[in-house]
Amino acid sequence: MDKTILCIGAGYVGAPTMAVLADNCPEYRVIVVDINEQRIAAWNSDKLPIYEPGLDEVVKRNRNKNLFFSTDVQGGIKKAGIIFVSVNTPTKTSGRGAGKAANLQYWEQTARDIIEHSENDKIVIEKSTLPVRTAEAMHRILSANDKGLNFDIISNPEFMAEGTAVDDLQSPDRVLIGAMEDESGQRALRRIVAIYQHWIADNKIKTTNVWSSELSKLVANAMLAQRVSSINSISALCEKTDANILDVSDAIGMDSRIGAKFIKAGIGFGGSCFKKDILNLVYLCEYYGLPEVAAYWEQVVKINDYQGRRFVDNIVNRMFNNIAGKKIAVFGFAFKADTGDTRESPAITICKLLLEENAQLAIHDPQALHNAKLDLADSSGEISYCENPAEAATDAHAIVILTEWQQFKDYDYRQFYRAMKKPAFIFDGRNILDHQALYELGYNVFPLGQKARNHLDCHSY
Ligand code: UDX
Ligand code: ADP
C-alpha cells in the first residue's frame, strides 16, 4: 500500500505527471483513474487523448509495468496509500462567486469518494489548482469520516506548461510541497519529498505550509499572465507610435531583472489556468475585503480581452470596414503551439467576433481541429475546417495567424498568394512570419505592435 500511488483525474495534468513519476520511481505502482471511460480507453490505446511532445514514449515505456490507467476509482482508492487529486476545477458559472470563484464540486465529490472507499489512513495531495485554504475545507470533510481514519492533506501544485509538459516534469524549476504543520502533516510531507527525490535535486524541492503553497500557484500564474498583458498593452501603443514591439521586448528583456521570458506580444493568453487562476485570486481578494488588490489583478484579464477585440477591430478596419461574405483563413486555433488544447484559446473569441461580422472562416490547425469544432459547434455562420493550409487559403481575402506553430513559417505563401483574392491581407497575431518577404510577395501585412507593410493607400500607423 505504501508503494501504491493513485491519481484521480487523467487529464492534461494528472496523466503526464504520473507518467513521469512512474518513469522515475520504478518501485512504485502508479494507478491513474478517471470517470471518463473514453479518456481511459485512449490512455490505454496507441493514440493518447492529448498531444504532448515526448509523452507517447514515456507512457508506452511504463504502461502496464508500473503505470496503469483504469476507471476503477473505488478499487484504486482501496489500494493506494497516497492519492493525488487532479480533477478539474472550472470557474463557477452560477451562484456565489459566479464567473470568478472555482467550482469545487468535482474536488468535493472526490473527497467523499475517498472517505467512502478508504479502509486505512491516506495522504491526499492537491494537484489541481485550488483557491487558497481549500485544503482546510477538504481536511474537515475528510476528518469527518466515522471510520477513525487519518487523512493528511498536502498541496503540491503543478507548474508544467502544455507543449513542454514532459521536460517541465522531468526538470522542473522547483517542486513545491505544502503540508500541515502538525507531526502527522510533517511525516506525510517527508514521504512526498522522498518520492520527488528520486529525480529532483534537494535544492529544487521547496517545502512550505499548505496555504503558502496553494497561494504560490495562483500568484505564479497571475504574474506570468500579468507580464503577457503588460507587453500586449504596450503593443497597442507601439502601433500608434511606430515603435516596434519586438525591439521593445528585446530591449527590456536584456535587463536581467526583467528577463526575456513571457514578454512576447500576441493576441492574448489562453489555456486552462491563467484566466481561471487570476479570477480566483480576484475573488479571494474581494472575499477578504481587499477591493483595491482585486481590481489590480482583474485588470490583467481585462487587457487580455481587449487585446483580442483590438485584433479583430484592426482586421475589420483594414479590410475596408467590411468582412461580410469574405473568406478568412485562420491559421492556428490551439491556445499555444505544440498542443491540441483549445481551452480559453483567444482563437475562440476572435473567431466568434469574425463570425459576428459575417466572415466565412476556414480554420487550419495541425492538432486542434477536433477541439475547434467542439468550441464553435454553437456558432452560426460559415465555417470549414481544413487539414491542408492551401485549401484554407484558396479564395481567401486574408490569412490570420492565431497560434505560433513553427510549421506556419515554412508554408508556401507565394502559392497561397496566387490562390487568394486580391488585395490579399495577412494579420500576424503572433509575429512569427517574415513580414518584409510577405510584403514583397504582394501581401498587405499587419503584424502586431509593429508598423504595417501595406501596399494600399489606407491610413497608416
Ligand atoms: C501555464 C503556466 O505557464 C504553467 O506554469 C501552469 O502550470 C499552467 O499554466 P500553459 O497555460 O500550459 O501554462 O501555457 P503558457 O506557456 O504559460 O502560455 C499561456 C498563454 O500565454 C498562451 O496562450 C501563450 O500563447 C501566452 N503567452 C505566453 C504569450 O502570449 N506571450 C508570452 O510571452 C508567453
Ligand atoms: P486538467 O487540465 O486540470 O488536468 P482536465 O479537465 O484535463 O483538467 O482533467 C480533469 C479530469 O478529472 C477529467 O478527465 C475528468 O473526467 C476527471 N474527473 C472529474 N471528476 C472526477 C471524479 N470524481 N473521479 C474521477 N475523475 C474525475
Nearest Cα residue to atom 31 of ligand 1: 264
Question: Which protein residues touch ligand 1 with a CB less than 6 Å away?
Answer: 158-162, 221, 224, 228, 262-264, 266, 269-271, 273-274, 335-336
Distance (angstroms) between ligand 1 centre and the Cα of 304 equals 13
Q: Using an 8 Å Cβ cutoff, are 381 and 363 in contact?
A: no
Answer whether residue 131 shows pLDDT above 80: no
CA-based nearest residue to 433, from 404, 456, 391, 397: 404
Residue 59: per-residue pLDDT: 98
CA dihedral 428, 430, 431, 437 (to 10 degrees): -40
Q: Using an 8 Å Cβ cutoff, are 155 and 210 in contact?
A: yes
Q: What is the DSSP secondary-structure string of 102-114?
A: B--HHHHHHHHHH
Name the pLDDT band for 286 (thresholds 50, 70, 90): very high
The CA distance from 154 to 149, in Å, is 16
Q: Which atom of ligand 2 is nearest to the CA of 128?
A: 3
Residue 460: per-residue pLDDT: 46
Distance (angstroms) between ligand 2 centre and the Cα of 405 equals 27
Residue 76: per-residue pLDDT: 97
Which of 88, 91, 104 has the most ligand 2 atoms within 8 A of CB, as the residue to mutate? Answer: 88
Distance (angstroms) between ligand 2 centre and the Cα of 207 equals 26
If one compares 97 and 114, the residue with the highest pLDDT of the two is 114
Domains defined for the chain, CATH in brackets: 4-200 (3.40.50.720), 209-461 (3.40.50.720)
Q: Using an 8 Å Cβ cutoff, are 131 and 137 in contact?
A: no
Answer whether residue 440 shows pLDDT above 50: yes
Ramachandran area for residue 152 (φ above 0: left; ψ -120 to 50: alpha; else beta): beta
Distance (angstroms) between ligand 2 centre and the Cα of 379 equals 26
**Catalytic annotation present for 273:** yes
Answer whether residue 103 shows pLDDT above 90: no
Q: Which atom of ligand 1 is nearest to the CA of 339?
A: 12
Name the pLDDT band for 461 (thresholds 50, 70, 90): very low
Computed on alpha carbons and rounded to an integer, the radius of gyration of the chain in Å comes to: 24
Answer whether residue 53 shows pLDDT above 80: yes
Name the pLDDT band for 458 (thresholds 50, 70, 90): low
Q: How does the average pLDDT of the chain come out, rounded?
A: 95
Cell of 170: 522531468
Nearest Cα residue to atom 6 of ligand 2: 88
Question: Which protein residues touch ligand 2 with a CB less than 6 Å away?
Answer: 8-14, 33-36, 39, 73, 86-88, 106, 109-110, 128, 272
Distance (angstroms) between ligand 1 centre and the Cα of 160 equals 10
